[in-house]
Amino acid sequence: MINYADTIIHGASFFPGLDLPEDYDYMALKDSRILSMGKGQCWKEYRKPDTQVLEFTKEQLVVPGFHDSHLHLLMSALNYHYVDLFNVRSEEEAAASVAKFAEDHPDDDWIIGLNWYHIDWDRKELPTKKSLDAYLPDRPVFLINTEVHGAWVNSKALEVCGIDDSTPDPESGEIVRDENGEATGYLNETAMGLGAVVALTFDIAKEKELVSLALERYASFGVTSIQDLRPELGYDLGQYETYYQMAQEDKLKVRIHSAANLMDPMDEVIAQREKYNGDLFQIALLKQYMDGVPTTHTAMSLEPYVDAPDLKVEPLGDIEKMKKQIERAHRNGLSVKVHCCGDGAVHQTLDLYENVIEKYGQTAS
């Protein structure tokens, strides 16, 4: 009995994978799985009256779907609506671009921007709230740098977020201040979270809108699945319920393997994993940060920084708690990703992994 195909792709060039034949003429699919690949006219054996036949040419290539193993989904999605500062070359040019975006979007509660990088500016200095205040004194502004390890904000944003000159620095973060102790408008590492929990908190409807824009873009490049690393510095970005509802509504064009926060109570993580465990969306791993980035001297290096030889960089989190959480994750079959930028952070993290393997053995995965 012939197993008929739902769809047949005919005439294209095919790349099934390394060390596999590539001289195929067709691919027959059933229930979204490959039924057969072959040459010549054999494809006609799998055709029935309602089979969809897609005709291609040898100049068109069919490849397996791509999997992006490190992506911040909602953070990425912000790029498709808010102001992109990647190409600006000065603080003033960035502030003017933000002001133009604000003028064009009068109904946005927050003016959000991304991808500024003072290292690429003519003056390689961190920006301050003053340049933003000159254009936007009455609307809160939250601008995320390219590294996503710092945010530049105006005075209104500091006010809305309850940050003033007396606000203490969070653990592993810094509210940068001038020589008089006044907050300059730059929030470093986990201090970003003090603003992000307000500026980047969206309702489910808005998250769906943003995520849809991003997934449309990913799918256009052949990305079929992603690992979404939700935990950011001092906050988690993206609601599980958003992805779950989109999956239920058949609006996910890409499979999402989402990361929970390594430092969350493990019982809660396991309960969430059981609840959100579908084909298109599931909680599949845990994530946290060991260090920051070299440009702001927060990456943990084995050797001193050349321009800051006396600086001692500490881990961004509680190492003992991280150690215990990795052990709990390992025992519950959850993989763990840890952000490491400096070689010192890599050593520290490998020690934690080695500890858990020595205690409980290597997992099958």
Query: 279: domain CATH number?
Result: 3.20.20.140
3-state helix, strand, coil in the chain (%, to 5): 35, 25, 45
Q: Answer yes or no: do 356 and 225 share one domain.
A: yes
Answer with the one of 153, 177, 199 that is the final residue of a domain.
199
72 is written with which tokens? 């911040």
Phi, psi of 276 (to 5 degrees): -105, 85
Rounded to an integer, the average pLDDT of 85-109 is: 97
Confidence category of residue 364, pLDDT binned at 50, 70, 90: low
Position 317 scores a pLDDT of 86
The answer to whether the beta carbons of residues 156 and 136 sit under 8 Å apart is yes
Domain that holds residue 185: 74-199
Sign of CA dihedral 77, 216, 13, 68: positive
Separation between Cα atoms, residue 184 and residue 161, nearest integer Å: 15
Separation between Cα atoms, residue 41 and residue 22, nearest integer Å: 17
Question: pLDDT (tens digit, 9 = 90+) per residue, 235-252?
Answer: 999 999 999 999 999 999
User: Does residue 1 fall inside a structural domain?
Assistant: no
Position 363 scores a pLDDT of 75
**255: CB partners within 8 A, 6+ apart:** 224, 225, 226, 279, 280, 281
Phi, psi of 112 (to 5 degrees): -115, 140
Position 356 scores a pLDDT of 95
Q: Answer yes or no: do 24 and 163 share one domain.
A: no
Q: Answer yes or no: do 98 and 223 share one domain.
A: no
Query: Looking at the 3D structure of the chain, how many domains does it have?
Result: 3
Q: Answer yes or no: do 219 and 354 share one domain.
A: yes
Position 22 scores a pLDDT of 76
Q: Answer yes or no: do 34 and 79 share one domain.
A: no
**48: CB partners within 8 A, 6+ apart:** 4, 5
User: Does residue 138 fall inside a structural domain?
Assistant: yes
Separation between Cα atoms, residue 298 and residue 285, nearest integer Å: 25
Position 365 scores a pLDDT of 57
Write out 262-301 in H/E/C secondary structure. CCCCHHHHHHHHHHCECCCEEEEEEEEECCCCHHHCCCCC
Position 54 scores a pLDDT of 96
Position 90 scores a pLDDT of 97
Q: Answer yes or no: do 119 and 182 share one domain.
A: yes
Lowest mean pLDDT among 15-24, 68-77, 152-161, 289-298: 15-24
Answer with the one of 46, 64, 82 that is the final residue of a domain.
64
Confidence category of residue 21, pLDDT binned at 50, 70, 90: confident
Q: Report the SS3 class of residue 244.
A: helix
The residue with tokens 């499979």 is 255
pLDDT beyond 90 at 352? yes
Question: pLDDT (tens digit, 9 = 90+) per residue, 103-145?
Answer: 999 999 999 999 999 999 999 999 999 999 999 999 999 999 9
Separation between Cα atoms, residue 357 and residue 56, nearest integer Å: 50
Q: Answer yes or no: do 113 and 50 share one domain.
A: no
Q: Answer yes or no: do 91 and 192 share one domain.
A: yes
User: Does residue 248 fall inside a structural domain?
Assistant: yes
Lowest mean pLDDT among 1-5, 209-213, 225-229, 287-291: 1-5
